[in-house]
Amino acid sequence: MIYRGLIAWAVVSLWVFLLPVWAVEYRLQVTNIDYLTFSSYLDPSSTGPRGRETMQRLENRLDSMEFPTAAVIPGRELRLLENPAYGGQVPSRISFLPATGQQAWTTVVWDGTPGTHVAFVVQSYMAAWQEVWDIATNATGVLRRLTIGGPALFGGQSRDVPAVAKDFLANAADRGTFVAWLQQRAKPVGGMYLAIGRRHELFTSVDRLYMLLTLPPEPHTFKVVIGWKDYDDRTDDRDIERLLWRR
């Protein structure tokens, strides 16, 4: 009788061991707005350092569907990067829900395995609002602006989101070095690595934002707000000062 119990227990243990890991549901929410609209929602009372201000009011309005959808920049595509060279895996189930009606978020929902990666890109073929000027994510539990660019001036700390030519990133993917480069140059923010692929022509091409997400053990919603700037807007000398400070 004892032996039967041991055998039954061994069979059950083996069956449990061979069960597939249950997938967890994840969400990525992205919205695209003009950089002036973006800056109007920066929290002036934020305790974060300059360039990393919180944006709690914007997050609340987006989540409660109070943000005007007319202010969302059209023509931006959120796409899954299925090429494994970008470091992500293709989920078994994925759904894209575009911003419609009162919903300003574009949302993608998928089943994934904790600890794996999924990669996305935001791109556009619309020749307007060409430059990614601002980015905010909810990495710290509240929407917060990230710093963009290469190494800071005078050997300071590197920015959160590197910005290089998008042809460079495409070549890195072809060579199989995209993930290593991204993890070396970008700062992980709430399980996300982000990089901007800068356009190669001023008027006829648009920046791209690449996102590599590390899936946590529990269901999670990643949020990204992108502030876009049109090349024609760069006529104010104050932009040059801001560019030198931020980049």
In the chain (247 residues long), the average pLDDT of successive 10-residue segments reads 44 38 87 97 74 90 95 96 96 92 94 96 92 93 89 58 95 96 94 93 86 96 96 53 40
CA distance 153 to 245: 8
Burial class for 240, CB neighbours closer than 10 Å (0-12, 13-18, 19+): exposed
Q: Is residue 187 a contact partner of residue 198, using CB atoms and an 8 Å limit? A: no
pLDDT (0 to 100) of residue 143: 95
| Cβ count near 163 (within 10 Å) | 20
pLDDT (0 to 100) of residue 17: 41
Give 140's DSSP letter.
T
pLDDT (0 to 100) of residue 47: 59
CA distance 45 to 170: 40
pLDDT (0 to 100) of residue 242: 43
CA distance 74 to 85: 29
